[in-house]
Amino acid sequence: MTVDDRVGPDEVAATRAGVRRMYRRTMFVAFAGSLLFSLFCAVLMYYVPSARSLEAAAVVGALAFIFLGGSLALHWWRHYNSIFKQLDVIERRVQAGEVIHGSEVTFHE
């Protein structure tokens, strides 16, 4: 472990910015993917010969979005919230003057 391996406030801030970018991308993809999937489910429901109902298609699409989108959003929110909390702990340790080496830092979900 060398001096170059030490974690400083700049590294923590850069890591937080990178994680925040990944969080935004992930949440956007989860939302957009859930929206496309629910639209796909609604179209499939509409073209079922026995149903052929716009109301049934809207209900299936809405339920698909709520259950898929909600579970995806909750999962990724919890995942990134855990990482942000761990970054807060590391930041407090660095600000307190503790020497932390980058090779020792790990993130657990």
Kindly state whether residue 101 falls inside one of the protein's structural domains.
no
CA distances from 55 to 16, 52, 86 (A): 44, 9, 46
Residue listed under structure tokens 């702990």: 89
Look at residue 34 and tell me whether its pLDDT is greater than 90: yes
**Based on the structure, what is the number of domains in the chain?**
1
Enclosing domain of residue 86? 3-95
Banded pLDDT at 29 (limits 50, 70, 90): very high
Q: What's the confidence (pLDDT) of residue 1?
A: 61
Within a domain: residue 73? yes
Q: Residue 105 falls within a domain, yes or no?
A: no
Q: What percentage of the chain carries pLDDT values higher than 90? A: 61
The pLDDT score that the predictor gives to residue 2 is: 65
Examine residue 106 and state whether it is found in any structural domain, yes or no.
no
Query: What is the sign of the dihedral through the CA atoms of 100, 103, 107 and 108?
Result: negative
Of the CA atoms within 13 Å of residue 91, those in its CB half-sphere come to 14
In a domain, 50, yes or no: yes
Helices assigned H by DSSP within 47-100: 54-64, 70-95
pLDDT at 49: 81
Q: Does 64 have pLDDT greater than 70?
A: yes
pLDDT band per the 50, 70, 90 thresholds, residue 102: confident
Residue-wise pLDDT for 77-93, tens only, equals 999 999 999 999 989 98
Q: Please give the pLDDT value at position 88.
A: 93
In a domain, 16, yes or no: yes
103, part of any domain: no
Is residue 108 domain-resident? no
